Structure 1
Amino acid sequence: MLINKQKLTNTLSKVQEIKEAYRLKFIGSDATKRSVNNLLELCRTYLAKNIDWYVHSDSALNHLVQSFVIVKDDRYEICTLSDLNNCWKRFVLCKELFHIILDCEEDWNSSLEDHLINFHGGITELECPVPPSAQAELLAEIAAMEFLFPYAERAAILQHGNLEYSAIAERYKIPRYFAERYLTKAYIENLREFHV
């Protein structure tokens, strides 16, 4: 997927701002297991965003999309599907919060079908241009991972070669899928220039 480098730079800069605000507001919190509930509170207070969070009765096990945000006038509604384990629930809520933090009207797409067709899914596919809404999905995912499992810690783990994915996923309370994906050499190398 072809990602606009300036958007990625802006995204990571915003994540750093949020991480600093989080650190100041929640002094003494465990840095490796950042609370997504605290992030929700931070978005509601520090960013003064009106955010409601609902759990839909449909099972996430039956859908490709596990969560989404609806923008309504002066408020946001986050909907996560049911049957997500703790790690997945944390991740999808965090990703949707970063959609709100990074909110840009040009990235909106109200057509789920168009959105899914255009989302090719990864930073390892750098030559495939896609519409802004699909880029926004990947940028929100990158932002969520930077918040939950920062690049510096990923690079250190990869350098030491200690790739016990289940233990890493448990330590950071993230889905193992994302521990594996974001610890690949391709992801580390493609994101390196944005973290020096």
Structure 2
Amino acid sequence: MAVFVHFVEKEEPEIIEEKNLFQRIFEDPGVFLDGIFYSATLFLAVYLSSGLQLRNPYWMVVSCAAILQGDNLRAIMQRNVQRILGTIIGIGIAALLLNASLTTLETIFFIIILFTISQISVRSNYALSAFFTTPMALLLSTLTKDQSVPTLLQYRFIGIALGALLGASSALLITTGLRFYNRSFHLHENFDKDPD
């Protein structure tokens, strides 16, 4: 797959300048706030998914982490909607595949195809990628243990929807909080210059 992607991808790889840890922190001091924010949100996702006794609790955590990968609040909100809508359509595709009584070899073949399509489409359209990620994840779940299809589809939707909503809500909360904090303490001022 790596060789295939190497020949399909036409973009030149971006060369990243090597910097030590202190240079990176100096250039982006917000990394500490981001780290605290992400870890607290993901801890809450793990706590809620375990407390709600979801069948596959990691679905909620992965969904929450995927939503938080957006570059800004607008991108996070778009990912939230796209992930939930993509999951709904993906559940429909998964229902067809799960009721088709596939052999183990056929299931593995479909997982490979779905993964490939998902990875190719993720850069151009996040929602389209979710169409194929959901059936892939559900087919993987059926390989490990025999599960009831309606229950599996239901838990997948609940996990993805709750994770996406938690990620979007926490991003909105931290963005709004930081905006008020910046306005309250005038953090937009430049402290490098001497006052007149």
Task: State the TM-score bracket (shorter-chain normalisation).
Answer: under 0.3
More helix by share: 2
The higher radius of gyration belongs to: 2
TM-score (norm 1): 0.26
TM-score (norm 2): 0.26
